[in-house]
Structure 1
Amino acid sequence: MKIVRYVLLLLAALSFVYPFIWMISASLSSEHGIGSLTLLPVDLTLRNYTTVFERIPLGRAFVNSLLVALVTTSLVVVLGAMVGYALARLRFRGRNAIFYLIIFTMTLPFQITLIPNYITMVKLGWVDTYFALIVPFVMNSLAVLLFRQAFAGLPQALIDAARIDGCSELRIIFQILLPNILPTVLTVTILTFMGLWNEALWPLIVIRDESTMTMPQMVTLFSVGGRADAQLGVKLAAAVMLALPILIVYLFFQKHFIRSMASSGLKD
């Protein structure tokens, strides 16, 4: 029975890993060798990657994506921790109503708010600026939820002792409590960074200046806009370069990520 279980798990893992391995292999193959579906490159070549850099400013797009993802993720962690702490440890009227309202917003697709957000960006004059890529994402419902649950699981004595020592609420949050919920901090960081790095729809709406475009937006326009000249290998090479940073981040922090997700159940 155990052998059957491991075989099924192995097959499930391979079904997830195979497409990505094939994508890397195909991006290193010549155009006529892509359709072989083998795990080894056919007619090994780096031409697909050099073509991508020749046709689009991918380096600039990478810097833009990294800047937007790092700044927004930092703000999400800071603001999410502050709101989560308030909902978990401070007593005020309407606290539960606010918490459940935040939970409700998690059920709404981001597409519903696209038009109102775009109109706001136009009114503020933020179209084609980094503000349009950062500000709409700095408040994250999932981050608030995870921080709220993590803070609720810490002993009240820890907070009381800090207050007796004269610590302010901000110092309690960032110097005393956050080091005790490091897996949650890493989970929020990874999920936020991954979501921002892969976001293509919103940049396509608010960014038209090529010098401000993010990497997913640039790769999308490159793949469907004609610059790839219908060359599948070139499109795959661009996709590999887009996915590689996320893969590296997850490989470094996967242990903390899994641990936090396994222990982030809802508590009253």
Structure 2
Amino acid sequence: MARRTSIGVWVIHLLLWIGVVVVAFPFVWMILSSFKSLPEFYQFHFWPAQWDLSAYRQVFTETQYGRWYFNSIVVAVVVTASELFFASLVGYTLAKFRFRGNQLIFILILSTMMVPTELLVIPWYVMSAQFGWVDTYWGIMFPGLMEAFGVFLMRQFMFGVPDDLLDAARIDGMSEFRIFLQVALPQVKPALSALGILSFLGNWNAYLWPVIVVSTESMRTLPIGIGMFSTADNGGLQWNVIMAMSTLAVIPIIILYFIFQKRIVEGIALTGVKS
């Protein structure tokens, strides 16, 4: 019996290692390719024969990569902060207050999740053009400032905050907004962390809406900048430069992972949350 268990464990470990190699290989290949010259890139050597930084120099001297990086950070941070605040506030209101139309409002919010983003970009763009938001930070950010999934997630978690704890705070004379900030939010940190990670990643990698609303090179975010560079007439595809851009673009994601890796695991478990 013990031998069968041992064999089973070894098989599981082997499969996991195979999965790691399959997932990590393209990522490692991308990083190594960014340190190759363009002729060497087409030789398809896995390891660089000679480490070359020319691709990185070209990134910062021939493109507005620094500005694209700044734009992506601004958009991702602001939208994530807005999503965390407003989604948790609405979720708290829907979970902890009983008023006429509560369930109807929640259903209407959830119904927006059924509408594909592709159907919304036209009214978003018309509205952006009418209000002068085209090619601005606000135009890029406003569709994601609060989303239905965030409201749903925070509402489900707010149900787990004890009502007695909130009533005790009210007896102590705390205002409802202060109760929300100082009592309710600390109780739902796992949900806030998971929602923050998902929101940041989604906005960092967003392409469809930003590429529609952005019209100048200086307002591009990283996905748009890299995509446009890869299709521009630069004397042929400069894959080593594209790999360098992509390598630099994943740095915030790696940092985010190492800081919040425990929260990421908790976020995976959120699928089992009950109302």
Give the stretch that moved more between structures: 134-143 or 116-125: 134-143
Structure-to-structure mapping, 1:204-219, within 5 angstroms? 204-219=211-226
Q: Does 2:90 correspond to 1:83? A: yes
Change (3 A) 1:170 1:111: same
Change (3 A) 1:160 1:13: same
Q: Which amino acid in structure 1 is aligned with residue 100 of structure 2?
A: R
Structure 1, unaligned runs of 5 or more: none
Structure-to-structure mapping, 1:93-132, within 5 angstroms? 93-132=100-139
2:207 corresponds in structure 1 to 200
2:24 corresponds in structure 1 to 17
2:62 corresponds in structure 1 to 55
* Residue 228 (structure 1) shift: 7.0
Q: Which amino acid in structure 2 is aligned with residue 150 of structure 1?
A: F
User: Residues 162 and 172 of structure 1 are in contact (CA less than 8 Å); yes or no, is this contact kept in structure 2?
Assistant: yes
Percent of aligned pairs sharing the same letter: 38
The 1-side partners of 2:234 and 2:105 are apart by 48
Structure-to-structure mapping, 1:101-250, within 5 angstroms? 101-227=108-234, 229-250=236-257
- TM-score (norm: length of structure 1): 0.93
Q: Which amino acid in structure 1 is aligned with residue 70 of structure 2?
A: V
For the residue of structure 1 that corresponds to 2:47, the secondary structure is coil
Change (3 A) 1:38 1:253: farther
For the residue of structure 2 that corresponds to 1:45, the secondary structure is coil
**Who wins on radius of gyration, i.e. which is larger?**
2
Change (3 A) 1:227 1:52: farther
The 2-side partners of 1:36 and 1:14 are apart by 22
Number of equivalent positions = 268
User: Residues 157 and 273 of structure 2 are in contact (CA less than 8 Å); yes or no, is this contact kept in structure 1?
Assistant: no
RMSD across aligned positions (CA): 1.7
* Residue 171 (structure 1) shift: 1.1
The 2-side partners of 1:110 and 1:228 are apart by 35
For the residue of structure 1 that corresponds to 2:79, the secondary structure is helix
The 2-side partners of 1:51 and 1:129 are apart by 27
- TM-score (norm: length of structure 2): 0.91
The 1-side partners of 2:172 and 2:78 are apart by 32
User: Residues 77 and 143 of structure 1 are in contact (CA less than 8 Å); yes or no, is this contact kept in structure 2?
Assistant: yes
The 1-side partners of 2:46 and 2:153 are apart by 39
* Residue 252 (structure 1) shift: 1.3
For the residue of structure 2 that corresponds to 1:81, the secondary structure is helix
The 1-side partners of 2:131 and 2:235 are apart by 35
Q: Which amino acid in structure 2 is aligned with residue 140 of structure 1?
A: E
Give the stretch that moved more between structures: 253-262 or 17-26: 253-262
